[in-house]
Amino acid sequence: MSLYKDLTLPNGVRYSQPIGLFIDNQWVASSSGKTFETVNPSTEEPIVSVYEADEHDVDKAVSAAKEAMKTWRDVPGEEKAQKMIKLSFLVRENLKLLASVEAADSGKPYETNSKGDIESVANYLVYCAGFADKLHGKMIPIAKDRYAITKRYPLVVGQIIPWNYPLSMASWKFCPALACGCTIVIKSSELTPLSLLVFADLVKKAGFPSGVFNVVSGFGASAGNRIAEHPDLDKVAFTGSTATGQKVMKSATSNLKHVSLECGGKSPLLVFDDADLEQAAKWASFGMMYNSGQNCTANSRILVQDTVYDKFIDLFKVEITKSWIVGNVFDEKATLGPVISKGQYDKIKRYITKGKEEGAKMILGEEREQLNSLPDKGYFIPPTVFIDCKQDMTIVQEEIFGPVVAISKFSTDHEAVEKANDSIYGLAAMVFSQNFQRVQTIADQLEAGSIYLNSSNDEDIRVPFGGFKMSGIGKELGEDAIDLYTETKSFYMNVGHRI
């Protein structure tokens, strides 16, 4: 029985797609023999079926990771770093393949989205490799003849990945974990399993030992929940919806494992009357529509000072119309692909209907039959812009996760901050003003983990990323990510030998 399937992608790329579970450096079928189908959201056509992991398969993967930890934790940091560097080279060598697979599986435009996402994986591997031999503890003086030292120890970790950035979001977790000497069981989204499976072959090729990196494809209710509750995992890292994050955190109490969560967002973008309005419109357009709005930090709430409200909307409308071309992901001109699935498509359409019913004014966004430019098939939703929105409207309060933005107005700085913070979420916020004092004052008051000043969604792998409130726990990226994947042990040293 072959655990590979020969495929030809819409752009002509031919390759062998792994369809099994990657456990202990081997491809295996699932215990139940069940498979599930992944669909190209641009065409609504099936791509391939892969094996579906259940609780028993997660147990096998965790056993492999736990066994591997016995030797992997003692491998010198320099050797771990070398393997990570080699893996980064393999990612670059296979960039076209990985980007093509991800474009087909997730609906990302190949040229403007998926290639950049895969490049970021290679970059982050290199960045985190630099920490592998620098996981220092501390020496803490206590008294003349007493001191303490601390050491950092790796963890056996479970990681649960979302569908909106399949390999990129996975790298935010596995890169620092590998650098710290952790062993990993990672579950992809059932909507986008393919690129992580291809990547697993590269991990083996890079020379990582058996059991260090294990991949299971499956559903949250079975495989995901088993990872969260598993008694032999020291930590679970999750990215996804806030509702699912709450379930993960509850399940993790089974053995009080470490938990880090990156959950939902409803990020406000504030435009003040002294802003460069053209730049604000460009950044607001990019920060909202990139990846079809399927981005937890998308600036889906735009708050504009009343004195420049109409001018900003005119500029924003032009920018949206000019910049975002809906089309098939392998069309070089396309900048906006489909949303991920029929379920997501229907959910977004319901939000659009709700916006109209609650009195918001739609100035962009039409039904499919009214836009000849939309492809005949695929889960495509054009950029949709509502204006004159009120604070209590559903489209203002709830995360839509699609190319739909709600624009409101404010009069004073105080009102802007109050409206911006009126949310259960606190992942990101954006401020546009050319007055430095105003920018800094407003930014200090915003309840969000990442504040973009005169930009939007231009994060960097060297800078910590994570949310406030219901947007999550813990910081990924930067040096902070290393702290997520180690446990500190304290040693008290009494050199005086007297009580």
What positions carry a catalytic annotation? 262
How far apart, in whole angstroms, are the C-alpha atoms of residue 346 and residue 368?
13
| Residue entry with tokens 């076209």 | 96
Query: Closest Cα to residue 416, out of 256, 302, 258?
Result: 302
- Torsions phi, psi for 161 (to 5 deg): -110, 145
In whole angstroms, what separates CA 397 from the centre of its chain?
A: 21
How far apart, in whole angstroms, are the C-alpha atoms of residue 484 and residue 475?
8
Residues 6 or more apart in contact with residue 13 via CB below 8 angstroms: 96, 97, 100, 101
| Residue entry with tokens 């990302």 | 108
How far apart, in whole angstroms, are the C-alpha atoms of residue 422 and residue 408?
13
Residues 448-476, buried b or exposed e (16+ Cβ, 10 A)? bbbbbeebbbeeebeebbbbbbbbbbbbb
Task: Report CA dihedral (311, 315, 317, 322) to the nearest 10 degrees.
Answer: 170
Sign (positive/negative) of CA torsion 247, 250, 254, 257? positive
* Contact indicator for 42, 338 with CB cutoff of 8 Å: yes
Enter the DSSP assignment of 478.
T
How far apart, in whole angstroms, are the C-alpha atoms of residue 225 and residue 499?
49
